[in-house]
């Protein structure tokens, strides 16, 4: 340190020495304090973010559901419930219905949110979204191979056990001089060129090479496969089942298996928040119908398209949760099940009817969904409550376990394919008589949210060098290799744009999806996009297929 003398200003005069009163301190030192830990670290925030994201299993999913329904059936009810109906006066046919008090149910009987009405059964506004429907999060957790299913192929009713494969009916034809057996499947067969089929007729299995696909008509190659009829082994009009075989030389490991996925609830409705999507209106908003109610005219939406948001109050952790193939969970579902607390849709000792997309036909009458068929009964039964106001028991649906889609899984290919979507059906109770109460509405309860995706190629690794392989990998004895598909991290996309991406904040993922939830009246034709004529409603309300021009 430099030494300076400081002269106080009190003694300063004109003969005093001009002295610097500031002290300059040199920061020199001959010793250094030992620091136990280095506090100066260079942190790459991008790498830290990716590390935290890849190690997180917390999710808070968000579903945006566009709900489309058509209030299709008109009917009658007892006098004390007549005020619950609406009576159209658009056409002469419906004017005649006024004399018998034949009308439509109020639109809010189908909506996700139910307003307070005269038939309020102890209504509470906080529970407005729970009276008509139940909601929960679910995921496929096991396979059911023993399910007995039914289908109609070329007017033949066929029943089979799902593990047997794809049902079909045969036809013998000649193509370019070849004796061919044409196999018409009731479901998508998912076969490709170079593959084979394992045919089961009367519990006798045999492997056949594929000759060709289809019959020349549009889209027939997805349902029709042709094989050579060697030694006249197969006759016409024979029913059976088939399985997909990827490799002939390795058929034991490459035969596909078929099953129904069972769903398990991962989070109940108590953690769900349901809100109407503000300022969001779907493009399918239906027509306004003039009607009368309580001797006064009013208008209502007969068809409608509203949007709702479903989210969670708290995140859920999926660490260690595996799916029906013992793989880490990659799909989550918002499961919506009709409840019908008002009593118009459930009767005593009745189960909700269930089936698959192939069970939905354009016919107004379908035996599969009939109450006398126990094979279409779901696990959802009717329960009751006593309504003091009306002095009557009302029945509604109480959800439990859920079935799911019909799927194919090939162990060698490590790929699961949905063959047919799962559906429930709503039918009216005896309180509301539509003439034939076996008719009703179909809907698909499981709304998928893709959490992660599997790679579009199969990884392989020899057993003698295998390390760090996933526990869901399949070991091929013939190849002597482990086979599996990697799961892409969130935010990664391959060359085929295969991947998912969504926000990651506060150590939680916020996956989201936009879905359409449709309530489909009986007799709706998927392919002609119309509703077949019914005596219960005027032709003006039929859904007409849009006109297409050259631009489309």
Give burial (CB, 10 Å; 0-12/13-18/19+) of 54.
exposed
CB 189 within 8 A of CB 223: yes
**Secondary structure of 441-497 in the HEC alphabet?**
EEECCEEEEECCCECCCCEEEEHHHCCCCCCCCEEECCCCEEEECCECCCCCCCCCC
- Domain locations in the chain? 52-145+262-453+488-541, 166-255
pLDDT in tens, the chain (552 residues): 455 555 555 555 555 555 555 666 666 666 666 656 555 556 677 788 888 888 889 999 999 999 988 888 888 877 666 667 776 544 434 444 444 567 788 888 888 988 887 665 677 787 788 888 888 899 999 999 999 999 999 889 999 999 999 999 999 998 888 899 999 999 999 999 999 999 999 999 999 999 999 998 898 999 999 999 888 889 999 999 999 999 877 778 899 999 999 999 887 667 888 888 877 666 555 555 555 555 554 545 566 678 899 999 889 999 999 999 999 999 999 999 888 877 788 666 677 889 999 998 876 667 889 888 989 888 776 565 556 566 555 555 555 678 999 999 999 999 999 999 999 998 888 888 888 888 889 999 999 999 999 999 999 998 777 678 899 999 998 888 999 999 999 999 999 899 999 999 989 999 999 999 999 888 644 333 444 433 333 333 333 344 444 454
Question: What gap in Å lies between CA 197 and CA 167, rounded to an integer?
Answer: 12
Question: What gap in Å lies between CA 133 and CA 67, rounded to an integer?
Answer: 12
Closest by Cα among 258, 426, 415, 412 to 351: 426
Question: What gap in Å lies between CA 408 and CA 263, rounded to an integer?
Answer: 16
Give burial (CB, 10 Å; 0-12/13-18/19+) of 214.
middle
**Predicted local confidence at residue 342, as pLDDT:** 77
Tokens linked to 545: 């297929």
Q: For residue 481, list its beta bridge partners.
A: 462, 476
Report the CATH number of the 166-255 domain: 2.40.30
Tokens linked to 522: 């009986």
**Predicted local confidence at residue 230, as pLDDT:** 83
**Predicted local confidence at residue 232, as pLDDT:** 85
| Number of helices and strands in the chain (H, E) | 3, 39
Question: What gap in Å lies between CA 469 and CA 194, rounded to an integer?
Answer: 30
Closest by Cα among 292, 320, 380, 308 to 85: 292
Question: What gap in Å lies between CA 354 and CA 333, rounded to an integer?
Answer: 18
**Predicted local confidence at residue 16, as pLDDT:** 58
Closest by Cα among 366, 367, 443, 445 to 403: 445
| Single pTM value for the model | 0.81
Alpha helical stretches, state H, 181-263:
251-254
Closest by Cα among 534, 259, 261 to 404: 261
**Secondary structure of 410-454 in the HEC alphabet?**
ECCCCEEEEEECEEEEEECCCCEECCCCCCEEEECCEEEEECCCE
**Sign of CA pseudo-dihedral 540, 544, 548, 552:** positive
- SS3 at position 237: coil
**Which DSSP string do the residues of 22-50 spell out, in sequence order?**
PPP-----S--PPPSS-------HHHHHH
Question: What gap in Å lies between CA 255 and CA 207, rounded to an integer?
Answer: 11
**Secondary structure of 56-109 in the HEC alphabet?**
CCEECCEEEEEEEEECCCEEEECHHHHHHEEEECCCHHHHHHHHCCCEEECHHH
Tokens linked to 527: 């392919």
């Amino acid at each position: 340190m430099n030494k300076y003398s400081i002269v106080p200003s009190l003694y300063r005069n004109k003969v005093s020495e001009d002295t610097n009163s500031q002290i300059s301190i040199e920061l020199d030192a001959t010793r250094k304090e030992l620091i136990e830990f280095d506090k100066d670290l260079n942190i790459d925030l991008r790498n830290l973010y990716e590390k935290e994201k890849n190690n997180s299993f917390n999710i808070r999913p968000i579903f945006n559901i566009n709900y489309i329904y058509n209030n299709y059936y008109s009917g009658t009810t007892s006098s004390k419930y007549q005020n619950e109906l609406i009576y159209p006066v658009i056409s002469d046919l419906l004017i005649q219905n006024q004399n018998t008090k034949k009308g439509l149910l109020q639109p809010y009987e189908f909506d996700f949110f139910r307003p307070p009405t005269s038939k309020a059964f102890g209504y509470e506004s906080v529970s407005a979204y729970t009276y008509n429907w139940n909601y929960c999060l679910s995921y496929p957790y096991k396979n059911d191979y023993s399910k007995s299913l039914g289908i109609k192929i070329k007017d033949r009713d066929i029943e089979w056990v799902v593990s047997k494969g794809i049902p079909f009916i045969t036809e013998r034809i000649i193509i370019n001089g070849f004796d061919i057996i044409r196999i018409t499947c009731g479901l998508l067969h998912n076969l490709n060129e170079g593959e084979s089929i394992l045919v089961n007729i009367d519990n006798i299995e045999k492997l056949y090479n594929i000759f060709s696909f289809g019959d020349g008509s549009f889209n027939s190659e997805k349902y029709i496969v042709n094989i050579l009829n060697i030694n006249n082994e197969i006759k016409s009009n024979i029913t059976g089942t088939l399985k997909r075989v990827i490799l002939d030389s390795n058929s034991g490991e490459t035969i596909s298996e078929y099953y129904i996925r069972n769903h398990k609830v991962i989070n109940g409705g108590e953690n769900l928040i349901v809100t109407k999507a503000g300022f969001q209106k779907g493009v399918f908003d239906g027509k306004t119908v003039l009607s009368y109610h309580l001797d006064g005219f009013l208008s209502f939406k007969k068809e409608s398209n509203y949007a709702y948001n479903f989210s969670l109050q708290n995140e859920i952790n999926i660490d260690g949760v595996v799916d029906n193939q013992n793989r880490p969970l990659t799909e989550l579902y918002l499961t919506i099940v009709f409840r019908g607390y008002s009593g118009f849709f459930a009767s005593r000792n009745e189960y909700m009817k269930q089936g698959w997309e192939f069970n939905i036909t354009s016919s107004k009458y379908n035996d599969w969904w009939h109450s006398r068929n126990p094979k279409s009964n779901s696990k959802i039964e009717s329960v009751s409550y006593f309504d003091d106001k009306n002095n009557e028991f009302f029945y509604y649906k109480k959800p439990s376990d859920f079935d799911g889609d019909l799927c194919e899984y090939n162990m060698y290919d490590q790929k699961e394919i949905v063959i047919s979507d799962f559906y429930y059906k709503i039918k009216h109770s005896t309180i509301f008589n539509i003439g034939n109460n076996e008719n009703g509405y179909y809907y698909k309860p499981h709304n998928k949210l893709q959490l992660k995706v599997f790679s579009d190629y199969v990884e392989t690794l020899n057993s003698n060098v295998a390390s760090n392989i996933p526990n869901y990998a399949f070991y091929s004895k013939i190849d002597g290799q482990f086979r599996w598909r990697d799961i892409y991290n969130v935010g990664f996309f391959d060359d085929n744009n295969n991947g998912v991406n969504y926000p990651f904040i506060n150590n939680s993922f916020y996956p989201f999806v936009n879905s359409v939830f449709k309530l489909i009246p009986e007799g709706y034709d998927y392919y002609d996009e119309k509703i077949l004529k019914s005596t219960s409603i005027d032709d003006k309300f039929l859904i007409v297929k849009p006109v297409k021009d050259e631009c489309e």
